[in-house]
Amino acid sequence: MQNITASVGQGGKNHSADVKVVQTLLKAKGSDPGKIDGVCGAKTVAAIKKFQSTFLKNPDGLIDPGKTTWLHLSGQRVLTPVKPKPLTPIAWSGDSSQWSQEKKLQSMKPELAAKVRAIVASLGQRGFQPKVFYGWRSIEVQARLFAEGKSKVRFSFHNGQKLDGTPNSYAADIVDSRYGWSSQAQSSGFWTALGEEARKRGMVWGGDWAGFRDWAHVQLVQNGELARVKAESGL
């Protein structure tokens, strides 16, 4: 049985003989490392990551003797598929922008829902006609918005969910039902009022962002926590 004496791949010791063994096995497994030359370059690292992606959630491009990737590559362990991402329960399927206001609020993290309720009530007292356009939204919708240039991220705080797929949004989009995103939302003072109400409650308002002002957007935490929310969501 073939073996390696030290680590191979990104950050590995990459002894020439070990690299050739890994390159040969990768090619046999359908993950082409390029020329089998004992040199661990970018193609070899990419091939390792491609192979790892069939059983690891976060491929690191490194193979250590006796560890998980080596056991899979050398045939000492049967490949197991990556755990599928949680599916959204049927009760939360469909176009979330068309849900009732109450269902949109229920799709939010409870702390966010409480603050959004307060914002909507305050805006109503100020003479506006606020409504939640989005609470939670699916990854598929997020991908479409990203492709259309309406969002700068592939994963948004709107996409937060529990590990079982239940919506748990950290963000909401609030508009005046008369104006939506039209110029009247600005001229009427609605966006300004929304920002004031969000800040009162310690929230992040998209209208404060430089370069890409997301006027309707309010969120519970700072942008730097997006990776944590994504991991928490199992995505």
**pLDDT tens per residue across span 124-151:** 999 999 999 999 999 888 988 888 888 8
Mean pLDDT of 14-41: 95
> Model's pTM, two decimal places?
0.64
Quick check: helix, strand or coil at residue 163? coil
Q: What is the mean pLDDT of residues 97-112?
A: 97
Q: Which residue has the higher pLDDT, 84 or 134?
A: 134
**pLDDT of 84 strictly over 70:** no
Q: How far apart are CA 53 and CA 49, in angstroms?
A: 6
Residue 85 pLDDT greater than 70, yes or no:
no
- pLDDT at residue 76 in the model: 79
Give the SS3 label for residue 203. Answer: coil
Cα gap 167→179, rounded to integer Å: 27
- 67 CB-contact burial (10 Å; exposed 0-12 / middle 13-18 / buried 19+): exposed
Distance CA 182, CA 201 (A): 26
pLDDT tens per residue across span 164-216: 889 999 999 999 999 999 999 999 999 999 999 999 999 999 999 988 899 99
The per-residue pLDDT for 53 is 92
Q: Which residues are within 8 A (CB) of 218 and not within 5 positions of it... i.e. 6 or more apart?
A: 115, 116, 119, 171, 172, 173, 174, 194, 198, 203, 204, 205, 206
At 197 the pLDDT is: 98
